[in-house]
Amino acid sequence: MVNYTELEKVILALTAGETDEVALMATLACEIHHADHRFDWTGFYRVVAPDLLKIGPYQGGHGCLVIPFARGVCGAAARTGEVQLVDDVDAFPGHIACASSTRSELVLPVRNAAGEVIGVLDIDSDQPAAFTEDDAQSLSRILEKVFGNVG
C-alpha cells in the first residue's frame, strides 16, 4: 500500500513553484505510478474542448487518445466532477477498454484554482477491486494541493 504522507511530501517538493499543467501532470503520473504495484497504468486526460478529453502525460502501456465526456469511467469523472472508484470495469456501463488487462479503475477529477475541471487522473489496475476510499481521498488531496493554485 502507498504511504500517502510520504508520497505527498515528495510530490509537493518536486512541484513547488511549478504552474505548467503538463509538467505537473508528468511529475505526478511518474511518482504515483511507481508508488504501488497495484497501479498498472497511471495518467492524465486533459480537457481540450467542451466535453472532450485527450491523453496527457502517463506511465504504462498505450492509452486511448481521445475520450468524450459521454463515454467511459474517465468521461464520467469529467462530466460529473466526481471521483469514480470502479471495482469491476466490466460491470461499468460504457467502459472503454483501452487495455484488455484492466480489471479495476480509479478516476479523479483535476480542478484548477477557479474550480474548473481541467482533466482527470486515471489509474488502472490489472487486479479486481484494487482501489480503496483511502486511495481516492489521499489522491484527491494531493491533486487539490498541486493543481489548486494553477490557472
Domains contained in the chain, CATH given: 4-129 (3.30.450.40)
Q: Is the pLDDT of residue 151 over 90?
A: no
For residues 46-67, give the mean pLDDT: 96
> In this structure, what C-alpha cell is assigned to residue 65?
487518445
Q: What is the pTM of this model?
A: 0.96
Q: How far apart are CA 20 and CA 143, in angstroms?
A: 14
What is the per-residue pLDDT across 112-140, written as a single tens digit (0 to 9) for each? 999 999 999 999 999 999 999 999 999 99
Q: How far apart are CA 106 and CA 39, in angstroms?
A: 10
Q: How far apart are CA 82 and CA 113, in angstroms?
A: 17
For residues 75-85, give the mean pLDDT: 97
Eight-class DSSP state of 65: S
Residue of 51, 60, 67 whose CA lies nearest to 29: 60
What is the per-residue pLDDT across 12-29, written as a single tens digit (0 to 9) for each? 999 999 999 999 999 999
Main-chain dihedrals φ then ψ at residue 57, nearest 5 degrees: -60, 140
Q: Is the pLDDT of residue 51 over 80?
A: yes
